[in-house]
């Protein structure tokens, strides 16, 4: 499929499209945690790195098939997401954000010292298993599952926690359990994205998963409109393409990015699509919707 595509599309654009796909998976994962459930997670890159390194080591050093390595990486990331979720019992808001930052930093330092991971040099030579097809099939599956989840009882519980945690508890929601669940699911997707990333770039190093990366993913979720699947997708597309387009200004790229964030927050603090959910789009387009 990729071979066919490269005949029609320039390799450069193909690369961007694949990266958009990977980023959508990462961002949708973070969306569940932060956008939907309202738990500010600023260490998503940590989950990504766990998925990336695990999958890469499994394929390169243990010869595991790609899909198995991906699954293992995502599952391990989910396990750590589960661990991170536990402090949510006692913490919330800014405090929780701090824990997530601390966690991601510790992971990064760990990989800097991790022998099998190549320490600071990183891992290279991963076979490029990630193709356009694989990425976008996964993207579609992830979007569909996300939509299903968010319209269900579980999804409503997530949103309720974000909106008013006390009222959510009064409605019978075990908020800690659901927050941990959100972290687990979100980090699974983070690890999945990481594994795909590793086998596309064929090279990963700890600095690829630094604080900045977490912020980039967070911005994709926030820009589009928190909690909204179409919003997250839109935000991801824009923020994946923008740095590429800003290559013209090369060195000044980050300058614009920083200023862009400030300006966006001042003028559209709720993101571009606000709180529109797939439910709303369906309702508007087809003039129906739930009941």
Partner 1 sequence: MFLEQFLNGLTLGSTYALIALGYTMVYGIIQLINFAHGEIYMFGAFAGLLLVTVAGVNLFVALIGAMLFCMLLGMLVERIAYRPLRGKSTRLSALISAIGVSIFLSTLMALLRGTNTTRYPDIIHRHTYTIGSIEISSLQIIILVVAALLMIGLELLIQRTRIGKAMRACSQDLEASALMGINVNRVISATFAIGSSLAAAGGVMVGIYYNAVWPYMGTMAGLKAFAAAVLGGIGSIPGAMIGGLTLGVMEIMGVAYLSSSYKDAIAFAILILVLIIRPQGIMGKKQVKKV
Partner 2 sequence: MEILQMEGITLEFGGLRALDSVDLTINAGQIFGIIGPNGAGKTTLFNIITGIYVPVEGTISFRGQDMQGVTAYKAAGLGIGRTFQNIRLFNKLSVIDNVRVGSHAINRSNFISDLLGLPRAWREEKIILARARQLLEMVGLYSKRHEYADNLSYGEQRRLEIARALAMNPALLLLDEPAAGMNSSEKVELMDLIYQIREEFNLTILLVEHDMNLVMQICERIAVLNYGRIIAEGTPDEIKTNEAVISSYLGAQA
In a 13 Å sphere around the CA of 245, the CA atoms on its Cβ side amount to 8
Provide DSSP, 210-228. Answer: SHHHHHHHHHHHHHH-TT-
Which residues is 124 bridged to in the sheet? 203
Q: How far is the CB of 1 from partner 2 (least distance, A)?
A: 27
CB 88 within 8 A of CB 162: no
- Position 289 contacts partner 2 (CB under 8 A): yes
- Position 159 contacts partner 2 (CB under 8 A): yes
Helix (H, G, I), strand (E, B) or coil at 204: strand
CA end-to-end span of the chain: 41
Where does residue 181 rank: exposed (0-12), middle (13-18), buried (19+ CB within 10 A)? Answer: buried
From CA 99, how far away is CA 94, in angstroms rounded? Answer: 9
Q: How far is the CB of 287 from partner 2 (least distance, A)?
A: 12
Choosing from 78, 97, 160, 273, the residue that interacts with partner 2 (CB under 8 A) is 160
**Contacts with partner 1 in 177-216 (CB under 8 A)?**
211-212, 215
Q: Which of 161, 164, 266, 257 is nearest to 215 (CA)?
A: 257
Q: How far is the CB of 13 from partner 1 (least distance, A)?
A: 27
Q: How far is the CB of 277 from partner 2 (least distance, A)?
A: 10
Choosing from 251, 285, 286, 291, the residue that interacts with partner 1 (CB under 8 A) is 251
- Position 1 contacts partner 1 (CB under 8 A): no
Span of 11-19, 79-87, 169-177, 209-217 interacting with partner 2 by CB under 8 A: 169-177
Q: Which is nearer to partner 1, 185 or 222 (CB)?
A: 222
Q: How far is the CB of 21 from partner 1 (least distance, A)?
A: 24
- Position 30 contacts partner 1 (CB under 8 A): no
Secondary structure element (H or E) that encloses residue 75, with its range? helix 66-85
- Position 114 contacts partner 1 (CB under 8 A): no
From CA 112, how far away is CA 208, in angstroms rounded? Answer: 11
CB 274 within 8 A of CB 228: yes
Structure tokens at 17: 């499209």
Span of 72-80, 139-147, 194-202, 217-225 interacting with partner 1 by CB under 8 A: 217-225
Choosing from 70, 173, 222, 239, the residue that interacts with partner 1 (CB under 8 A) is 222
- What is the biggest distance separating any 2 CA atoms in the chain, rounded to whole angstroms? 58
Binding site for partner 1 (CB under 8 A): 34, 40, 87, 90-91, 93-95, 97-99, 101-103, 105-106, 109-110, 112-113, 166, 211-212, 215, 218-219, 222, 226, 251-252, 254-255, 257-262, 265-266, 269-270
List residues binding partner 2 (CB under 8 A): 145, 148-149, 152-157, 159-160, 163-164, 166-175, 181, 227, 275, 283, 289-291
């Amino acid at each position: 499929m990729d071979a066919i595509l490269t005949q029609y599309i320039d390799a450069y654009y193909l690369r961007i499209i694949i990266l958009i796909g990977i980023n959508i998976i990462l961002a949708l994962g973070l969306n569940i945690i932060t956008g939907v459930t309202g738990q500010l997670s600023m260490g998503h890159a940590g989950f990504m790195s766990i998925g990336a390194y695990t999958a890469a080591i499994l394929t390169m050093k243990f010869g595991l098939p790609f899909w198995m390595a991906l699954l293992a990486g995502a599952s391990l990331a989910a396990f750590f997401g589960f661990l991170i979720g536990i402090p949510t019992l006692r913490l919330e808001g800014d405090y929780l954000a701090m824990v997530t930052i601390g966690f991601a930093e510790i992971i990064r330092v760990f990989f800097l010292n991790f022998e099998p991971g190549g320490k600071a040099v990183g891992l290279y030579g991963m076979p490029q298993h990630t193709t356009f097809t694989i990425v976008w099939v996964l993207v579609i599956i992830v979007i569909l599952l996300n939509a299903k989840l968010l319209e269900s009882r579980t999804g409503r519980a997530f949103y309720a926690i974000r909106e008013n945690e006390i009222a959510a508890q009064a409605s019978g929601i075990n908020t800690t359990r659901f927050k941990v669940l959100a972290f687990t699911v979100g980090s699974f997707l983070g690890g999945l994205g990481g594994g795909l990333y590793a086998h596309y770039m064929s090279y990963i190093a700890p600095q690829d998963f630094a604080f900045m990366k977490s912020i980039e993913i967070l911005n994709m979720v926030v820009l589009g409109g928190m909690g909204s699947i179409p919003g997250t997708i839109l935000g991801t597309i824009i923020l994946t393409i923008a740095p590429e387009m800003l290559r013209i200004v090369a060195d000044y790229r980050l300058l614009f990015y920083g200023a862009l964030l400030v300006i966006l927050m001042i003028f559209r603090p709720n993101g571009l699509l606000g709180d529109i959910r797939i439910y709303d789009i369906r309702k508007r387009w087809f003039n129906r919707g739930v009941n």
